[in-house]
Structure 1
Amino acid sequence: MNQSESFYQLALTLVAGVGDVLIRHLISYSGSATAVFQSSAGKLMKIPGVGEVTARAILSPEVLKEAERVTQQTEALGVKTVFYTDKCYPSRLKSLYDAPALFYWQGNADLNTGRTLGIVGTRQATDYGRRMTEEIIQALKAYQPLIISGLAYGIDIAAHRASLQHGLPTIGVMASGIDVIYPSVHQKTAQEMRHHGALLTESRPGTKPDAHLFPARNRIIAGLSDVVIVVEAAAKGGALITAEYANNYHRDVFAVPGQVNQSFSQGCNKLIRENKAQIYTRPEDLVEALNWDKPLEMHTNPLLDRALDFTEEESQVIALLRQLTDEHIDDISWKTGLPMGTLAALLLNLEFKGIIRSLPGKRYGLG
């Protein structure tokens, strides 16, 4: 049966033992997801990280049968899949080593909008926490950020509802299938978000929420956000995991301070004490740190302002390098999914145009 490239991209994510990083390697070496499934076991085993067991798993007929079932589910639900090589894949995620190779989503939010804000916190929010969440969103409305959270009880749902109330788009990143709203009492809010934002998950339809899926969900919240604000958090929990990811991804992190004798202030106060978060006392703290008071600027290279006719592949590389100071050619290859031969020629062409520059150690950055 002839299938589209997107079908084989989806199928790759369903292969047992094949994760996000290996998917990038497979496509980098093979050229496309379709080519991966058309390869022999011997050819696959020449790819670093692919052994006999993995090669057999990739070529199992059950994988494509399962991909057909999942495709039917997504079509019935009106769910879209976005692969990391797609033009609409969020540029903020593309530069991360552990970004999801594919995610499912419903909605109309611009995933590459100019300003994004993650708001997270405890499921057992106090009146103070809910009030601070709404005040933050109301105060930042003028900057039109995309609000990102996890659709959970407490601070998460307060952030989503305040965003909808103030006319800001909001994304709920889920630790379940997109058709499994958890908790179920948030169905109504989730439905509103489909029309004024989006729901997003890397889990296939029908997936029930499980403990190991929540930290994975938190990395996506951090990766999509320019800044993460922790409003209330206990000494341990998902909000602190999100803050840890945000720090690892070199995102700004803020924490709302709380009373020293309150359990759900411990996490925020700890982040501030350990210099893992800046203290949030007023909207201007965040606006000044992120330069939101200045016009949006996507880049500093004046050549990029000209009406150059970049190919889709060139645009992928440029979008990646905008997020980074510089990057090794091997990492550019697996993050963009471009085969090494294609990438080398593309980089040379962009260097001739003055768009990028080559650096010592096979690294590249914007010119």
Structure 2
Amino acid sequence: MINKVTFNIEELNNMKKYPKELFYIGNTKLLEKKKVSIIGTRRPNAYTKEFTHKLASKLSSLDICIVSGAAMGVDAISHFAAREDNTIAVVANGLDIRYPSVNKNLISNIEEKGLVLSAYKEGEKARNYTFVLRNEIVVALGDILIVTQADLKSGSLTSVNYALKMGKKVYTLPHRINESLGTQDLVKKGLIEPIYDIDEFIQQFTNTSQVTKIKDKVLDFCDTNPSYEEAISKFGDTILEYELEGKIKIENARVSII
């Protein structure tokens, strides 16, 4: 069901102009969480795909909500890695339209388990100007912005400008020469920071006590000897990290504490 937002979303006060109207489908309690916005190119390379997924998954495992724009590429990877129940998708069209069509199942799942927001009434199709407002809302909702890959003249760079004007920190992945030239240029100018170590970055960003609490939950869950599939579904890549750290073992498709 499409609902109209009847309350003030505090983070959106950072925008140049608060949206005239906002509509939603889903769980508005996600707006109360700590949030990170992740965006980037619609055509990410294999490296960007891998580390966008890791970033979104690890942040989500610490109960940080991932915000993005439901587009192909980096946006879709971010929503999927966060899991549909811990992500906010901001779209550039009316909520009766699931655009782009390639992501219609993803968007439908977010409607059911997460939250989809729009500044546009039913029937409004996505156009150049609607993407501009969509991007500003995505940036405003997050405590920080991560642009994992963007070329020169990319629309993602407009989002970086929004973030900097709002006083938000902006991060990116370090790329090879001649890749993601848009973000590399901004790193060179000292406007955004590269993430060289994902775990170190997340530790700095998150509250230490919160990290400890989540990690205890992981071990408590693994102590029940769950199936590998259940553990991965609940905690994602954290299970693989714990196995590598020697905290748990996986045998016969079940997980247990060492």
TM-score of the pair, normalised by structure 2: 0.76
The count of aligned residue pairs is 211
The 3 A distance-change label for structure 1 pair 158 and 277 is same
Is 2:191 the counterpart of 1:276?
yes
Residue deviations 1:9-33 (CA, integer Å, cap 9, x gap): xxxxxxxxxxxxxxxxxxxxxxxxx
Residue aligning to 1:98: 17
Residue aligning to 1:332: none
Residue aligning to 2:80: 161
Which deviates the most, 172-181 or 220-229?
172-181
Superposition map of 1:312-327 within 5 A: none
Residue aligning to 1:135: 54
The 2-side partners of 1:286 and 1:247 are apart by 19
Residue aligning to 2:45: 126
What's the offset of the Cα at 1:292?
3.0
Contact 2:30/2:88 (CA < 8 Å) preserved in 1?
Answer: no
Match of 1:244 among 156, 161, 165: 161
Contact 2:85/2:110 (CA < 8 Å) preserved in 1?
Answer: no
Task: State the secondary structure of the residue aligned to 1:261.
Answer: coil
Match of 2:27 among 90, 108, 127: 108
Runs (5+) with no aligned partner, structure 2: 212-258
Residue aligning to 2:5: 82
Match of 1:197 among 91, 105, 114: 114
The 1-side partners of 2:205 and 2:141 are apart by 15
Task: State the secondary structure of the residue aligned to 1:102.
Answer: coil
What's the offset of the Cα at 1:288?
4.8
Contact 1:99/1:220 (CA < 8 Å) preserved in 2?
Answer: no
Runs of 4 or more off by more than 4 Å in structure 1? none
Question: What is the letter of the counterpart of residue 127 of structure 2?
Answer: D
The 2-side partners of 1:254 and 1:216 are apart by 21
Residue aligning to 2:244: none
The 2-side partners of 1:185 and 1:132 are apart by 22
Match of 1:210 among 122, 127, 130: 127
What's the offset of the Cα at 1:285?
4.6
What's the offset of the Cα at 1:286?
3.4
What's the offset of the Cα at 1:236?
1.4
Question: What is the letter of the counterpart of residue 292 of structure 1?
Answer: N
Contact 2:60/2:86 (CA < 8 Å) preserved in 1?
Answer: no
Superposition map of 1:1-367 within 5 A: 78-83=1-6, 86=7, 89-164=8-83, 169-262=86-179, 265-294=180-209
The 2-side partners of 1:168 and 1:144 are apart by 10
Residue aligning to 1:45: none
The 2-side partners of 1:199 and 1:105 are apart by 6
Contact 2:21/2:120 (CA < 8 Å) preserved in 1?
Answer: no
The 1-side partners of 2:159 and 2:3 are apart by 25
TM-score of the pair, normalised by structure 1: 0.54
What's the offset of the Cα at 1:159?
0.8
Task: State the secondary structure of the residue aligned to 2:24.
Answer: strand
Residue aligning to 1:313: none
Residue deviations 1:51-89 (CA, integer Å, cap 9, x gap): xxxxxxxxxxxxxxxxxxxxxxxxxxx211114xx2xx3
What value does the CA root-mean-square deviation take over the aligned residues?
1.9
Task: State the secondary structure of the residue aligned to 2:208.
Answer: coil
Contact 2:30/2:87 (CA < 8 Å) preserved in 1?
Answer: no
Q: Which has the larger radius of gyration?
A: 1
The 2-side partners of 1:254 and 1:187 are apart by 29
The 3 A distance-change label for structure 1 pair 294 and 94 is farther
Identity %: 26
The 3 A distance-change label for structure 1 pair 122 and 193 is same
What's the offset of the Cα at 1:142?
3.6
Contact 1:150/1:172 (CA < 8 Å) preserved in 2?
Answer: yes
What's the offset of the Cα at 1:172?
1.1
Runs (5+) with no aligned partner, structure 1: 1-77, 297-367
- The answer to which structure, 1 or 2, has the higher relative contact order (CA under 8 A, 6+ apart) is 2
Task: State the secondary structure of the residue aligned to 1:110.
Answer: helix
What's the offset of the Cα at 1:144?
0.8
